[in-house]
Structure 1
Amino acid sequence: MDEAWTGGSGGGPFGRWERAGGGRGLPWRSTVLIAVLVMAGSGFAARNQAGREELDAWGRVLLLLAAAPLVLRHRRPVPVVFAVAAVTLGYLAAGYPYGPVFVLIAVACFAAVVQGHRTAAWWALGLLWAGHLLLAHWLYSRLPPPGDGPAPWGQELPAAAFAVAVLAASELVRVRRQQWAQHRADRAAAERRRADQERLRIARELHDVLAHSISVINVQAGVGLALLDSDPEQARTALTTIKAASKEALGEVRQVLDTLRAPGEAPRTPAPGLGRLPELVDQAAAAGLTVAVTRSGPRTDLPPGADLAAFRIVQEALTNVVRHSGSRTARVEIAHGPGRLDLRVDDDGPATGTEAGGSGNGLAGMRERAAALGGTIEAGVRPDGGFRVHAVLPLPPEETS
């Protein structure tokens, strides 16, 4: 086993769990404490049980022999519980006083049940009780003390109640430990899910920022190289566009990294939203794409999450047009409706390179953003050969009233 229940505070009546490492992992202190208490209590009980044998040296040896296996009760609970039951039965057969000796079997049963060996604990406790019945009601005349008579049957009811109480308490602790373990596992799983969601969020943000900006930079770099000798002024314009796009990309990447370094702090700059759509149109124009934007429905302030998702969906859709479409025009339609926001981005195609179906990371990221808000994304080739991205994002009623 990797852990052991050892003496100390904070672990219930018998100590706390700690890692086993050599001798330090064994519950020496709690075992010695139990043995001392049982010795002292048995000595006191002997003075109040005149009909039993005096607790002599041999009786104390039997008590020590019954307590000693408890050191291994968390590593070998089954042999320990049967060994303690057997020595306890020998102690009772020798006529020594009742009382604290039963604490030893209670501790052994508790350790066995808590570690999942309930059947062994029940058998050990049942055999001890059956042996006691045999000694107290049939074999008493052949065993010390001399002249002893049969024990009253009425005392068996408290003995049975004690056994049931020990098993019930052990089962309760076992169930509580399982609940705690399940709670820890659920909490760890929730932490992993939150970490995965945060990782995916950051990956989506970086993808959206870099894919769009690098697409613009790539187009303008090609223009600059083509016109470097023939039209230096136009090449200069392309380089200026590259500088502006790279500066904006660096700023947004820095914002994402700042939230990663200090997740509890508020971002230094507001997250982008549809209010920055004109900037997006200008960047697309710098890449040679003419974008027409139409809006319908009552303008309302969008929730931050929906505003960011809408901006990123439009951004990714325009990036795909720049990278994968032969069309140099695109149409963005934004419709504000009751409880929803409709986004539609169309181009007239045709596709020029990498297929723009639903298998790319960009489209997968758009679907994840929409799904996180309870929305949907439809993306595919239109019958006339163009490509359409249609997103529906639900909005809270108070945001659309």
Structure 2
Amino acid sequence: MKQWVRDALFAALVLAGVLVATAVQGGVELPGVVTIALTCGILAFRRRFPVTVAIGTVIGCGLYYPFVGSGGPLLAAFVFALYTVAAAGRLVAASVIAVVAMGGIAAGEILSPRRHLDDIALFMLVGWLVAVIALGAARHSRRAFVAEAEKRATGEERLRIARELHDVLAHNISLINVQASAALHRKKGETEALEAIKHASKDALKELRATLGLLRQVDEQASTKPPGLQQLSELVERTRATGIKVNVDGEPRPLPPEVDLAAYRIIQEALTNVTRHASAHEVHVRIHYGDKDMRVQVDDDGRGGDVTAGNGIRGMTERAEAVGGDLSVHSDGNGVRVAARFPIGATE
């Protein structure tokens, strides 16, 4: 149901309630019906024009009680309008309107030949208006908090997807680039290089489809599952196809999905960096499982040197920290070591 329809129904319900209650208390004549209808009817526009509607209800009550009829809960229309102003975040306007309304009521009681409200009733009315403004302010704060949380969650999801795309494309396109360069410069082995390019591009497309599947509607399913350490052998073979010797110590085990993906992506990024920057001949990938955590380590025998924290290293660090782990990258001049730790809980 659209918002304006709900607001119109709300205004109609308030109007019906005020008319019935007024009729029960002592009846209502035509001028009173018109005033009540106009005052309650403008509540249909309270979300679009909260301050204007609140002022209109003040004017309606100011005309009704002194001149048209002294009975009936028409003041409820003003209370709802005041709440809407506060809930819209217009706390200053709500406070000013409430003060003006109370000033009008107090002036009416002073100028009237007889009292309609005693001191206790006036004090309670002030308390009710303060409570209404406080409730509206709380409602506004809660909506603002929820909106900020949703915005932050959306930003984190976009960052996660961007990280996935970076890892998928950077690794596979780097391998494609290395193999294409080899095919251009070697007199023999073009077939092997082109075969490696074929497999790397196929894997890139497959992982890209899986990552982009995260952007689909909630009720749709991605065509493939996110990768994990079970695909480590394929990852290693693609790196070996570039001419780098890769040794692996440790076997994949069942892990929590988020840890499995993080470990795979960190190894993938480390091998990508070796392929692109290290000029290495050999790489050691080690996987170790403890009682409460697991560790992965990638060592190469490349040129080493200063380690610059670019997008790749930042992405690996964020992945490790996202699952409660940590990552370090060190170089001793004879290669680079990437070491990551992931908590997995106690195991039998």
Q: State the TM bucket, normalised to the shorter chain.
A: 0.7 to 0.9
Alignment check: 8 A CA contact 1:290 1:328 kept: yes
- What 5-or-longer segments of structure 1 have no aligned partner? 15-29, 46-54, 138-150
Is 1:320 the equivalent of 2:269? no
Alignment check: 8 A CA contact 1:113 1:171 kept: no
Alignment check: 8 A CA contact 1:284 1:318 kept: yes
Q: Which residue does 1:107 correspond to in 2?
A: 77
Q: Which residue does 2:242 correspond to in 1?
A: 287
- Aligned equivalents of 2:33, 2:10: Cα separation in 1: 28
Alignment check: 8 A CA contact 2:283 2:298 kept: yes
Q: Which residue does 1:146 correspond to in 2?
A: none
Using the TM superposition, name which of 259-268 and 77-86 deviates more: 77-86
- Aligned equivalents of 1:192, 1:114: Cα separation in 2: 24
Q: Which residue does 2:9 correspond to in 1?
A: 9
Q: Which residue does 2:264 correspond to in 1?
A: 311
Alignment check: 8 A CA contact 1:39 1:63 kept: no
Equivalent positions of 1:173-188 (< 5 A) are 173-188=132-147
- What 5-or-longer segments of structure 2 have no aligned partner? 86-90
Larger Rg computed on CA atoms: 1
Q: Which amino acid aligns with 2:185?
A: A
Q: Which residue does 2:339 correspond to in 1?
A: 390
Equivalent positions of 1:203-222 (< 5 A) are 203-222=162-181
Q: Which residue does 1:357 correspond to in 2?
A: 308
Q: Deviations over 1:145-178 (max 9, x none)?
A: xxxxxx7xxx744x843x4555555544444444
| Percent identical residues | 35
Equivalent positions of 1:257-276 (< 5 A) are 257-265=212-220, 267-276=222-231
**Structure showing the higher helix proportion among its residues:** 2
Secondary structure of the 1:76 match is helix
Alignment check: 8 A CA contact 1:89 1:132 kept: no
Name which of 223, 227, 236 aligns with 2:182.
223
Q: How far does residue 315 in structure 1 lie from its aligned partner after superposition?
A: 0.9
Q: Which residue does 2:101 correspond to in 1?
A: 124
Q: Which amino acid aligns with 2:321?
A: A
Structure 1 252/112 Cα, relative in aligned 2: closer, same or farther at 3 Å? closer
Secondary structure of the 1:258 match is helix
- Aligned equivalents of 2:37, 2:125: Cα separation in 1: 17
Q: How far does residue 105 in structure 1 lie from its aligned partner after superposition?
A: 4.7
Q: TM-score, normalised by structure 1?
A: 0.69
- Aligned equivalents of 2:339, 2:136: Cα separation in 1: 51
Q: Which amino acid aligns with 2:326?
A: T
Q: How far does residue 41 in structure 1 lie from its aligned partner after superposition?
A: 6.8
Alignment check: 8 A CA contact 1:66 1:104 kept: yes
Q: Deviations over 1:44-85 (max 9, x none)?
A: 38xxxxxxxxx8xxxx76996798677598443675466456
Q: Which residue does 1:145 correspond to in 2?
A: none
Is 1:191 the equivalent of 2:173? no
Alignment check: 8 A CA contact 1:224 1:235 kept: yes
Structure 1 390/97 Cα, relative in aligned 2: closer, same or farther at 3 Å? closer
Q: Which residue does 1:246 correspond to in 2?
A: 201
- Aligned equivalents of 2:110, 2:143: Cα separation in 1: 44
Structure 1 221/83 Cα, relative in aligned 2: closer, same or farther at 3 Å? closer
Q: Which residue does 1:143 correspond to in 2?
A: none
Structure 1 326/113 Cα, relative in aligned 2: closer, same or farther at 3 Å? closer
- Aligned equivalents of 1:136, 1:361: Cα separation in 2: 80
Q: Which residue does 2:329 correspond to in 1?
A: 379
Q: How far does residue 323 in structure 1 lie from its aligned partner after superposition?
A: 0.3
Name which of 293, 302, 310 aligns with 1:340.
293
Q: Which residue does 2:284 correspond to in 1?
A: 331
Structure 1 357/167 Cα, relative in aligned 2: closer, same or farther at 3 Å? same
State how many pairs are aligned: 333
Q: Which amino acid aligns with 1:247?
A: K
- Aligned equivalents of 1:240, 1:7: Cα separation in 2: 66
- Aligned equivalents of 1:67, 1:130: Cα separation in 2: 25
Alignment check: 8 A CA contact 1:42 1:98 kept: no
Secondary structure of the 1:136 match is coil
Q: Which amino acid aligns with 2:108?
A: G
Q: How far does residue 124 in structure 1 lie from its aligned partner after superposition?
A: 3.0
Q: How far does residue 362 in structure 1 lie from its aligned partner after superposition?
A: 1.5
- Aligned equivalents of 2:222, 2:150: Cα separation in 1: 22
